[in-house]
Structure 1
Amino acid sequence: MASATVGYFRRLTRRLTEDLEELDAEEMAESSQAAGARPAAECSRGQEVTMLGRLRSVEACSKATASVQAEFFDGTDSILLVWIGRRRIPGIETGKTLLVRGRVGERGGAKVIYNPYYELRDPA
């Protein structure tokens, strides 16, 4: 019982003193792993992947290129998601948690998935 109490206070102290972004990234990576999703840091070009993470930013591109771009973060790395031919996608908003599936590509040295399949998920 005493060791459980010590462990509780150690975790509480860590949560109060550690960087919030770092804690959020750890929790996101743990949730992703628990869901059986592949960590973005381990994905490479040409692989078909399923990942769980959160949208850090969402941007609609100009009418000429008609696409929606979102930065997807799973706690280990970021991947750019691009939906071509769309100006807006209901539910695709900054802060939303998604399960995405698609083939990893590369654009300008960064990982990207074009037209990924996605499911909106509860943040919990």
Structure 2
Amino acid sequence: MGSTDGGTFRRMLRKLTSDVEELDARDLAEDAEDSGARAAKDCACGEEVMMLGRIRSVELCPQSAEATLRAELFDGTDGVTLVWMGRRRIPGIEAGRTMRVRGRLSVRDGQKVLYNPYYEICQAQ
């Protein structure tokens, strides 16, 4: 058995014994890396970043003077909160969608945040 066969067997065994969420996170992280995006876990406050991930949740936060739309993006390594100020809804921004986002990373209350990021909704693969 060659080294390729052993690697294939290990990957197959890992898929059989791994948690579905863990496998999904690994696939997301690989897709992000293949696209040239940075891993969220490696990004720091103040950096201009481009990330690729899947939206986990979307919520409208009307507490402030202006409505604020928030979404949690997960790239397989870490979550990032996306915040659009003054927006109640953005067509296509919904849980389960894969997106590429770009902006300057902030940290608020220990959570990574992108305010008013540029975004691109990716087609399902």
TM > 0.5 fold call: yes
Residue in 2 that maps onto 1:88: 89
**Off by >6 Å, runs of 4+ in structure 1:** none
| Alpha-carbon distance in 2 for matches of 1:14, 1:106 | 34
Question: What SS does the corresponding residue of 1:94 show, helix, strand or coil?
Answer: coil
| C-alpha displacement of 1:5 | 4.5
| TM-score normalised by the chain length of structure 2 | 0.90
Q: Percent identity?
A: 56
1:50-71 CA-partner distances (Å, limit 9, x unpaired):
0111111111122744011011
Matched, 1:68 2:69: yes
| TM-score normalised by the chain length of structure 1 | 0.91
| Alpha-carbon distance in 1 for matches of 2:28, 2:124 | 9
Residue in 1 that maps onto 2:111: 110
| Alpha-carbon distance in 2 for matches of 1:36, 1:122 | 17
Aligned residues, how many? 123
Tell me how large the CA RMSD over aligned residues is.
1.6
Ranges in structure 2 where 5+ consecutive residues have no aligned partner: none
| Alpha-carbon distance in 2 for matches of 1:69, 1:18 | 31
Residue in 2 that maps onto 1:17: 17
1:68-87 CA-partner distances (Å, limit 9, x unpaired):
10111111111100000000
- Give the partner amino acid of 1:91: G
| Alpha-carbon distance in 2 for matches of 1:27, 1:18 | 12
1:19-70 CA-partner distances (Å, limit 9, x unpaired):
1111111111111111111111111111110011111111112274401101
